[in-house]
Structure 1
Amino acid sequence: MEEIIRTEYSELMQKAYIDYAMSVIVSRALPDVRDGLKPVQRRTLYDMLELGTYWDRPYRKSARIVGDTMGKYHPHGDSSIYDALVVMAQDFKKGQPLVDGHGNFGSIEGDGAAAMRYTEARLMKITQEVYLQDLDKDVVNWVPNFDETEKEPEVLPVRIPNLLVNGSDGIAVGMATSIPPHNLGEVADAARAYIRNSSLTSRQLMKYIKGPDFPTGGIVVNMDELPEIYETGTGKIRIRGKVEVEQGKNGKQYLVITEIPYPMIGANIGKFLCDVAELVESRQAPEITDISNQSSKEGIRIVLELRRGADVERLKNLLYRKTRLEDTFGVNMLAVVNGRPETLGLKQILDQFVDFQFDITTRKYQRLLAKEMEKEEIQEGLIRAVDVIDLIIEILRGSRNQQQAKDCLTMGVTDGIRFRHKTSEKQAKELCFTNRQAQAILDMRLVKLIGLELDALYKENEETKKKIDLYENILNNYDAMADVILKDLEHTKKEFARPRRTQLMNAQTAEPEEPEEEDAELVFLMDRFGYARTVEPSVYERNQEAADKENKYVFRCMSSGKICIFTDRGTMHTVRVKDLPFGKFRDKGTPVDNLCNYSSAEEEIVSVTPLADILDKKLVFVTSAGMVKVVDGGEFNASKRTISATRLSVEEDRLVMASPADQGEFLVMQTVDGYFIRFAVSEIPEKKKTAVGVRGIRLGADDRVEKAWLIASRMEFAVSYKEKKLILNKIRLSKRDGKGTKVRV
């Protein structure tokens, strides 16, 4: 019978969400402080050990490893397992790779790994010897897998602080971890120092761990901020790429980037190259004449070719400030501690590691001690058995079955056993071997009675007693156990440590001085699609006919000036000339949408003009509602990139014209219904740009101004109207605010 439970929906959702969040935090996204591994990494490495993919054996297909891991331990999809396997094999992401990959495992430039059916993998030597050793000695807890058909280790018995060595990154629900990698040798030294003196602070431990050691090298430039970061577990590390200057032929110089910031790996290398190209196009770095990415398997090599006499230091600072060549690594040392996420400082991480080492070392030597004591028990039983071997043989010959003989050896039970002499029976009743000893006696072969075999037994027993003494000393003496851990750390450092790659220093990014460029005359070109660019006047003059035909706006401007774009919404956008792409005549240019706040989807361009050409002039504004006004050009000299150029009378009103008043003596306005009016510009009053203006023409119902022109009195001005030529100068001259003349053609 079903039972319906009434409950508050919000409470149920809250509980379900919290359960889900904790599952993601603990079981997927965050590493355990003890072994520094996420569950998917731990399960993959353990499965590789089970499959026998040892470092000195042939590679196994990645698909086999992934499938076995998914089927036994990690039922979350093959892509997450393979991604974890790939990352553990990439030496540019991990301070100490844990998997030896064979095949295409991706590149530092962001290329993805080949499909798992094409790649192979096996364990690294350090993984097998430092991360997975002693699992057979029951040094960690074992938990059931997802369907309770297998057992998996709760944590791996890692013998180095892997959380620091390899770092970690992951996004959980409401929290994220970001731990930088460190140098294995330095971390081992810090752990050994902490074992000797647990009162050391995070700042004192930095005598050994100088700072992060990224696999991509680079230069950390805020070294003075590191103590605070390691104290609190949070902060920002500023890291730069390494730039070298090389001399070429003919006095040319090259800036060569040989190391990149850790956050640049992947697609950000391509983004960096694009950023450098943009600096060249915007003439902020005109000294760079060529960019080439010569990176290979041997390492990073990005070459920037410079003009002779280039200011190298200015260019370096420009690259640091304007590109990803100097980047920030956000530190948040969050890990799972006793099933709960905690932000840890350097001291707390090492404290947890040392506790873990003492725990697994205790369990290891307890297991070894039990094994040796069991061995000693058997050896002592065999030695005692040798002394009474004739009696034992007599017991065995007189017993009807093995259990009868075993009972006699362990408890002196002689019932049913035939003895040759009463003395033998009396001696048999005094036997008291343990069960284990009795079984060993029963299993003993006669060859053990040879003299040399007996000598070996006595020697083996002596060795066993020495081991027991040693293990008991380790288990009962803190210093003895500490020495064992210290020796392990020293061995790991000696065998697997490598020199530091990342340099540490303090440096300020100097503001690069903008090169003093001469104010040069350029020609602005913008086609009807809104693509704009500038060219040299000589280039324009050679292609003048094509330029005038293909472009809607063509005029001369100065390189230090600004371009004003008036739109039908009554807005003025400004673009710096130096932000426009400068190049060849046939270059496409850049949409003005990308250079200012203008949106081609929401507004239309009414006019485009250099700011310098209107500052000392008057501008005539005409709107579709028939309003006109003259505004002083000085009002448009604003620092903001977007300002309101005029106020529109109603919401449906649109700006139709914005032109310098000196372009003509008369203003002609044309409406949709075919009414034209011509009156003197002098009749238009001067207003502020925030004013609506005055009426220029009386409009009929549903009529609106469609076009407007400024014309001179002594020059014929013709336009095409309804596919026929119309001379605007012949339109009857009237006063402002008239109805206009209906033109029929």
Structure 2
Amino acid sequence: MDDSRIIKTEYSEEMQKSFIDYAMSVIIARALPDVRDGLKPVQRRTLYDMHELGIRYDRPYRKSARIVGDTMGKYHPHGDSSIYEALVVMSQDFKKGMPLIDGHGNFGNIEGDGAAAMRYTEARLQKVTQEAFLADLDKDVVDFVPNFDETEKEPSVLPVKIPNLLVNGSEGIAVGMATSIPPHNLGEVIDAVKAYMLNNEITTKELMRYLKGPDFPTGGIVINKDELEEIYETGTGKIKLRGKVEFQKGKAGKTNVVITEIPYTMIGANIAKFLSDVAALSETKKTQDIVDISNQSSKEGIRIVIELRKDADPENFVNMLYKKTRLEDTFGVNMLAIANGRPETMGLKQIIKSNVDFQFEVATRKYTNLLAKEMERKEIQEGLIKACNVIDLVIEILRGSKDRAMAKACLVEGKVDGIKFKSKESKIMAAQLMFTEKQANAILEMRLYKLIGLELEALINEHEETMANIYRYEDILDRRDSMAQVIMNELDGFKKEYSHPRKTVIENGQEAVYKEKELEEMDVVFLMDRFGYAKTIDLSTYERNKEAADAENKYVFTCKNTGRICLFTNTGQMHTVKVLDLPYGKFRDKGVPIDNVSNFSQAKEELIYITSQKELNLCQVIFATAESMLKVVDGGEFDVTKRTVAATKLAEGDTLVSVTALTDQRNIVLQTKGGFFLRFAVDEIPEKKKGAIGVRGMKLSDGDLVENVYYTKNAVETTIEYKGKELVLNNLKLGKRDSKGTKVRV
């Protein structure tokens, strides 16, 4: 390899440069919208491609796959899923204040179901997109840049005539920054833009007389009206949203709480989560007011019905929903967009200013282009009118010329050499002709029927119309007020045709005050079977089914319904579960897997001991590990509220074998895999903190480990089954801690 071609550079510098380049690419060319047209590159390219393919609002739908493939091949060399997702979102009326694409087929729904595959769905542009986003692309109003392989040209920005960034909002995550702009009402946005154009010194507060706040397609209620001014001034803040709730009379005097509008943040999978959260409130006994819950939503709109008990307080119940579910939520506002090629957080007035400046720029380029065309048309029209006035001379020149060049030279420069004229007068008149190059070409290409009287009259009328257009275009270009009036007239037209009444209510809502019913503390019985399904039942139910409950369950003990259950595992962890998180009810109910309500994982850990936190607080606990490390710990050390804590410290490779509450046990018996047993007094085990490893219980042979731990009591014979035969532990020789023990052969 030629060493001269190797560029030596500092690794950290190269990484820094590469990351910055990547970050800027994501920020500028993918994730953030342009303040001028309110579109991200993928959206802009998709709309432009549809325009190029002629998929107008008044033409048949075309397969989405065709649009996606064409966009990817010509303009957007990224994954097809990102292009199709952008197309789908631009068609969803529950996400966009003003959908830009007319979708045909399954384009998903508000409950989070995705769109059908692109090979099944079809799409075309909406009328507003055609008229307000793509209308003037042929008039050189925006710059066109080469596409990724320089085989096509694409617009750097679309000549959008409405402030799309505010109307449709935008959400995107870049590198180190994100944008979140809520949608707004088209009519209000247009009114605010016109107010700014009439007075560019207008304040944000004055602008908000026209633009009240966000207008979400899902409706709902904004409850922090007084905070909106600061949000729109700075471009950042939090909008508090609530769903719309109605009370309706149900069966037998019951009250139904009907949710007819949801917060914008709830659309998608969060609707299902809301339903499960409401059901959980009932299951965990946070409320006993719910009789039934049903989702009756359809294409007509959202309708979630919660049937309450007859004596329930509906107002208090709704306040509980606001507090404990996403029926009240926040929409984080961060109005970040690309302005002048760089990301910038902008307030309402800055966004409107940027859009108005863009409108003037587009209008200036449009009317400059139109004026140039009209001036060209005027020149030709004047040439034709002049030619018609001396048509006999023109015909004489044409008939006397040898070729087109000779005739053209006579018309433009008055050259008469070589042309045969009928008279000297004609030659003198021909020498005085002074047509322009364009006029001469038009005369030479003029058809004879243009000499008909009516055609001449039409030409004169057309010339008058051209002159009127020239006067109008010059006035628009020379006077900013005239151009402003043209822009405002266009905005009025869009408002008249496409605006709709506001959907979101804006008010200063009162803080939701929920009076939680005091939970009556009582004793319950915890049951968990060998498959890990846990539940609680009341004491009387347990007493009636005591024999079956003890036989069918691995763990059975009494605890408080307000307390916690502690789960010790072989990895040395202690997981806690609120008793209220466990289902409480009938004896034959299945229960819930303990994995589902705790951090315990059956796949990674083995459960070795379960007790209630209350019982744990009242006693000491003996820990024993596979490498025979022992200690006694005060149970009060485990009075914690964390879901998971380290219950003990383990040496590397060691595991916890036994955790037992110390009550009236006299001796401990350690049994190894190799068949060694050691019985010694429990008093020999020292008390340590939970963070200690402990002391050695018995000496182990190489490769041997403690397999089981047993306890014996005074005057009580303890028998186990070992290798198929009974073994009385009390008969084992009493030894000392940290000795070898004896080999038991049976």
Normalising by structure 2, report the TM-score.
0.90
Q: CA shift at 1:121, angstroms?
A: 1.0
Structure 2 distance, partners of 1:239, 1:451, is 71
Structure 1 distance, partners of 2:692, 2:340, is 71
- Cα 1:590–1:481, aligned 2, differ >3 Å: closer, same or farther? same
2:21 counterpart residue number: 19
**CA offset digits 1:672-704 (Å, max 9, x no partner):** 34546476x8x6899576698999987676685
2:313 alignment partner, one of 302, 311, 335: 311
1:140 counterpart residue number: 142
Q: CA shift at 1:729, angstroms?
A: 6.0
1:44 counterpart residue number: 46
1:257 counterpart residue number: 259
User: Which is further off, 472-481 or 515-524?
Assistant: 515-524
Structure 2 distance, partners of 1:246, 1:59, is 43
1:408 counterpart residue number: 410
Structure 2 distance, partners of 1:80, 1:695, is 60
Structure 2 distance, partners of 1:517, 1:726, is 49
SS in structure 2 at match of 1:512: coil
Partner amino acid, structure 2, of 1:377: E
- Cα 1:511–1:710, aligned 2, differ >3 Å: closer, same or farther? farther
- Cα 1:476–1:650, aligned 2, differ >3 Å: closer, same or farther? closer
1:273 counterpart residue number: 275
Q: CA shift at 1:91, angstroms?
A: 0.9
SS in structure 2 at match of 1:482: helix
- Cα 1:66–1:635, aligned 2, differ >3 Å: closer, same or farther? closer
1:721 counterpart residue number: 722
Q: CA shift at 1:286, angstroms?
A: 2.7
Structure 2 unaligned residues grouped into runs of 5+: none
User: Which is further off, 319-328 or 623-632?
Assistant: 623-632
Structure 1 distance, partners of 2:16, 2:99, is 40
Structure 1 distance, partners of 2:671, 2:348, is 77
8 Å contact from structure 2 (residues 624, 709) kept in 1: no
Q: How does 1:561-580 map to 2 (within 5 A)?
A: 561-566=563-568, 573-580=575-582
8 Å contact from structure 1 (residues 627, 692) kept in 2: no
**CA offset digits 1:451-471 (Å, max 9, x no partner):** 333333332222222221111
Structure 1 distance, partners of 2:510, 2:425, is 98
SS in structure 1 at match of 2:93: coil
Q: CA shift at 1:189, angstroms?
A: 0.7
Structure 2 distance, partners of 1:572, 1:558, is 19
8 Å contact from structure 1 (residues 252, 306) kept in 2: yes
- Cα 1:705–1:111, aligned 2, differ >3 Å: closer, same or farther? closer
Identical positions, percent: 62
8 Å contact from structure 2 (residues 648, 691) kept in 1: yes
Structure 1 distance, partners of 2:204, 2:45, is 32
Structure 2 distance, partners of 1:408, 1:455, is 27
2:208 counterpart residue number: 206
Q: CA shift at 1:446, angstroms?
A: 3.2
8 Å contact from structure 1 (residues 53, 123) kept in 2: yes
- Cα 1:512–1:674, aligned 2, differ >3 Å: closer, same or farther? farther
Structure 2 distance, partners of 1:660, 1:485, is 86
Q: CA shift at 1:328, angstroms?
A: 2.6
Q: CA shift at 1:571, angstroms?
A: 6.2
8 Å contact from structure 2 (residues 670, 679) kept in 1: yes
Q: How does 1:103-122 map to 2 (within 5 A)?
A: 103-122=105-124
SS in structure 1 at match of 2:94: coil
SS in structure 1 at match of 2:5: coil
Q: How does 1:349-360 map to 2 (within 5 A)?
A: 349-360=351-362
2:669 counterpart residue number: 669
- Cα 1:640–1:46, aligned 2, differ >3 Å: closer, same or farther? closer
Structure 1 distance, partners of 2:700, 2:440, is 122
8 Å contact from structure 1 (residues 104, 113) kept in 2: yes
8 Å contact from structure 2 (residues 139, 369) kept in 1: yes
Partner amino acid, structure 2, of 1:671: Q
8 Å contact from structure 2 (residues 665, 711) kept in 1: no
Structure 1 unaligned residues grouped into runs of 5+: none
8 Å contact from structure 2 (residues 621, 635) kept in 1: no
- Cα 1:198–1:729, aligned 2, differ >3 Å: closer, same or farther? same
Q: How does 1:520-531 map to 2 (within 5 A)?
A: 520-531=522-533
- Cα 1:742–1:513, aligned 2, differ >3 Å: closer, same or farther? farther
1:486 counterpart residue number: 488
Q: How does 1:641-720 map to 2 (within 5 A)?
A: 652=654, 654=656, 656-659=658-661, 661=663, 664=664, 666-667=666-667, 669-672=669-672, 673-675=675-677, 677=679, 706-709=708-711, 711=713, 713=715, 717-720=718-721
Partner amino acid, structure 2, of 1:379: Q
1:418 counterpart residue number: 420
Structure 2 distance, partners of 1:379, 1:718, is 120
- Cα 1:243–1:693, aligned 2, differ >3 Å: closer, same or farther? same
User: Which is further off, 464-473 or 223-232?
Assistant: 223-232
Structure 2 distance, partners of 1:456, 1:723, is 118
Q: How does 1:60-459 map to 2 (within 5 A)?
A: 60-459=62-461
User: Which is further off, 116-125 or 216-225?
Assistant: 216-225
SS in structure 2 at match of 1:89: coil
User: Which is further off, 330-339 or 186-195?
Assistant: 330-339
Partner amino acid, structure 2, of 1:183: N
Superposition RMSD in Å: 3.3
Structure 2 distance, partners of 1:7, 1:56, is 60
Q: CA shift at 1:191, angstroms?
A: 0.7
- Cα 1:648–1:357, aligned 2, differ >3 Å: closer, same or farther? closer
Q: CA shift at 1:525, angstroms?
A: 0.6
> May I ask how many residue pairs the two structures share in their alignment?
739
Q: CA shift at 1:580, angstroms?
A: 1.6
8 Å contact from structure 1 (residues 94, 166) kept in 2: yes
Structure 2 distance, partners of 1:696, 1:49, is 80
Structure 2 distance, partners of 1:694, 1:148, is 73
SS in structure 2 at match of 1:304: strand
Structure 1 distance, partners of 2:66, 2:552, is 62
8 Å contact from structure 1 (residues 140, 155) kept in 2: yes
Q: CA shift at 1:184, angstroms?
A: 0.7
- Cα 1:229–1:448, aligned 2, differ >3 Å: closer, same or farther? same
- Cα 1:36–1:648, aligned 2, differ >3 Å: closer, same or farther? closer
Partner amino acid, structure 2, of 1:720: E
- Cα 1:386–1:572, aligned 2, differ >3 Å: closer, same or farther? closer
- Cα 1:732–1:69, aligned 2, differ >3 Å: closer, same or farther? closer
Structure 2 distance, partners of 1:612, 1:390, is 119
Partner amino acid, structure 2, of 1:198: N
Q: CA shift at 1:357, angstroms?
A: 0.6
User: Which is further off, 341-350 or 696-705?
Assistant: 696-705
- Cα 1:338–1:419, aligned 2, differ >3 Å: closer, same or farther? same
Q: CA shift at 1:601, angstroms?
A: 6.2
Normalising by structure 1, report the TM-score.
0.90
Structure 2 distance, partners of 1:4, 1:694, is 64
- Cα 1:709–1:432, aligned 2, differ >3 Å: closer, same or farther? same
Structure 2 distance, partners of 1:14, 1:534, is 58
User: Which is further off, 44-53 or 201-210?
Assistant: 201-210
Structure 2 distance, partners of 1:23, 1:381, is 54
Structure 2 distance, partners of 1:291, 1:108, is 19
Structure 2 distance, partners of 1:57, 1:689, is 79
User: Which is further off, 161-170 or 204-213?
Assistant: 204-213
Q: CA shift at 1:576, angstroms?
A: 2.6
Partner amino acid, structure 2, of 1:46: Y
- Cα 1:81–1:607, aligned 2, differ >3 Å: closer, same or farther? closer
**CA offset digits 1:385-412 (Å, max 9, x no partner):** 2322222222222222222222211111
- Cα 1:677–1:117, aligned 2, differ >3 Å: closer, same or farther? closer
Q: Does 1:35 align with 2:37?
A: yes
User: Which is further off, 558-567 or 206-215?
Assistant: 558-567
8 Å contact from structure 2 (residues 259, 303) kept in 1: yes
SS in structure 2 at match of 1:291: strand
SS in structure 2 at match of 1:331: strand
8 Å contact from structure 2 (residues 572, 655) kept in 1: no
Q: CA shift at 1:643, angstroms?
A: 6.3
